[in-house]
Structure 1
Amino acid sequence: MVLNKNKKIYIDSCHPNGIDETENLNFISPYGCSKGATDLYFLDYARTYGIKTVVFRQSCIYGPFQIGVEDQGWVAHFSKQALKEKPITIFGDGYQVRDLLYVEDLINAYDLAIKKIDKVKGQTFNIGGGIKNTYSLLQVIKILEKEFNYKVKISFQKMRIGDQKYFVSKNEKIKRILGWKPETDFKKGLDKLISWQKNNL
């Protein structure tokens, strides 16, 4: 069994080469606590009962078939808003940094983990787009403005509890054990997302 969790279980800290699995956990909010508890249960079931579980601590995932709403799937949400020439609300100053992972790359990681479950059972892996696919929220909006030739109207609200100013995954462990790494450049992946949105939204 592969559990997909997100980055909300880590403390807000900036590492120039990304955050690895040894980073201290800090659930920050009730939302983060629910994610963290599930994460630890999965690991403990592997340790206690020998169940073949693995945990993926994922960064920001985007791609076709993702509708995107204000608090989930923010890349798709931003793109959808720009496509429809609607405003975007940013919680914080917009300089929050994330690494962005294209969905097909994530699926490839799932396939590898399932095929090699005996090798990865009982382990956690941080998984994301990595340093090469790292952008701030405002940088993504600038890319979308150029793509749609539209100046996005942005409103700024207070940063939400539990949001991190910086999160970038360090993918070295999964690369070492499974040979996986992100293959899709963010701008190419974004083009695929936009193409899908134009035909389906």
Structure 2
Amino acid sequence: MNILVTGGAGFIGRWVVARLLEDGHFVWVLDDLSNGREENLKTLKDNLNFKQFIHGDIKDSKLITELFANKFDICYHLAASINVQDSIDDPHTTFLNDVVGTFNILEKCREQKTKLVFMSTCMVYDRAHNEGGIRETAQIKPASPYAGSKIAAENIVLSYYHAYDLPVTVLRPFNTYGPYQKTGGEGGVVAIFLKNTLEGLPLSIYGDGSQTRDLLYVEDCARFVVEAGYSEKADGEILNAGIGKDISINKLAELIVKDRKLIKHVPHIHPQSEIPKLVCDFSKAKKLLGWEPKYSLAEGLAQTEKWIKTTDLL
């Protein structure tokens, strides 16, 4: 198939592209490099099915029109503003990228009947209230402009399924980590903790560290994303992915660092947008896609640490 991956030079996007190439598809990548890095694609560009990398913006309607002349079968739409604090400081940019940009992509998909797989986030949810985890029908809570923009984009995407019979799928992966994730900034807690530990630096935890996360290894996440695009059963659906177990940030730090004196607690930068407990119920993805995670947290941490030790992409 001819496939477009927006945000394909990003952390998860890079793994999605790798999986699609492995499966024999022709792949185009669009990325403005605000979050992604072209270097992430270096080992993939030699594949004969890697058609083109386009440094461009999903808000550029002219560029999108020209790009869609390639007649895509599927568009995996991962391009977005992803930083919670940035969305609080500058909601305008997040709205334009995550809502208006998504609309631009959707319109071209509608014109060509291109299936759209939309990457949303577990940050749209309220906290988990039971040990069984968060299902797709659980209460949502737009606690940041980032979450609010993702919810708005989800609704627009699903409206095209109902109004135009366009095949679309909305994905809500839980906190993803692994090789190619940046080791600085927000969102890469595992990568940051591992890199700091290897360098003997302190691990800074926002707030009291009791907040929990369901940590999904990136290769499992990419397989989930790709297979949602292949499956007609996923059309019109919202799907979660996680490992079904959560860990507190305190416990995660203790798992990674041997010297507890290196663990520091610092004031939270956005306590109003913190989700105290996140744990995933992925039973729907298992039922519809036959998907379930293959990597345990211990295995994923080992793979990520190995990558950090050997890469020059940090």
* TM-score (normalised: structure 2): 0.59
Unpaired runs of 5+ residues, structure 2, are 1-115
The correspondence of residues 1-201 of structure 1 with structure 2, limited to 5 A, is: 1-116=116-231, 118-131=232-245, 134-146=246-258, 151-158=261-268, 160-200=271-311, 201=314
Aligned Cα RMSD in Å?
Answer: 1.6
1-side partners of 2:262 and 2:238: how far apart?
Answer: 38
> How much does 1:150 deviate?
7.5
Contact 1:11 1:24 in 2 (8 A): yes
2-side partners of 1:160 and 1:71: how far apart?
Answer: 14
1-side partners of 2:279 and 2:260: how far apart?
Answer: 29
Give 1:47's aligned amino acid.
H
2-side partners of 1:110 and 1:82: how far apart?
Answer: 31
2-side partners of 1:99 and 1:130: how far apart?
Answer: 7
SS of the residue corresponding to residue 167 of structure 1 reads: coil
Contact 1:14 1:167 in 2 (8 A): no
Contact 2:204 2:265 in 1 (8 A): yes
Give 2:137's aligned amino acid.
T
> How much does 1:29 deviate?
2.0
Report the more deviating stretch, 11-20 or 53-62. 11-20
1-side partners of 2:131 and 2:263: how far apart?
Answer: 31
Unpaired runs of 5+ residues, structure 1, are none
> How much does 1:107 deviate?
1.5
Give 1:84's aligned amino acid.
E
Report the more deviating stretch, 28-37 or 185-194. 28-37
SS of the residue corresponding to residue 118 of structure 2 reads: strand
Contact 1:96 1:137 in 2 (8 A): yes
SS of the residue corresponding to residue 20 of structure 1 reads: coil
* TM-score (normalised: structure 1): 0.90
The structure whose RCO (Cα within 8 Å, separation 6+) is larger is: 1
**What CA deviation, in whole Å up to 9, does each residue of 1:107-157 have, x standing for no partner?**
1112221221x21111101111212xx2111111111113xx674241321
- The count of corresponding residues between Structure 1 and Structure 2 is 196
2-side partners of 1:78 and 1:189: how far apart?
Answer: 14
Give 2:304's aligned amino acid.
L
Identity of aligned residues (%): 32
SS of the residue corresponding to residue 176 of structure 1 reads: helix
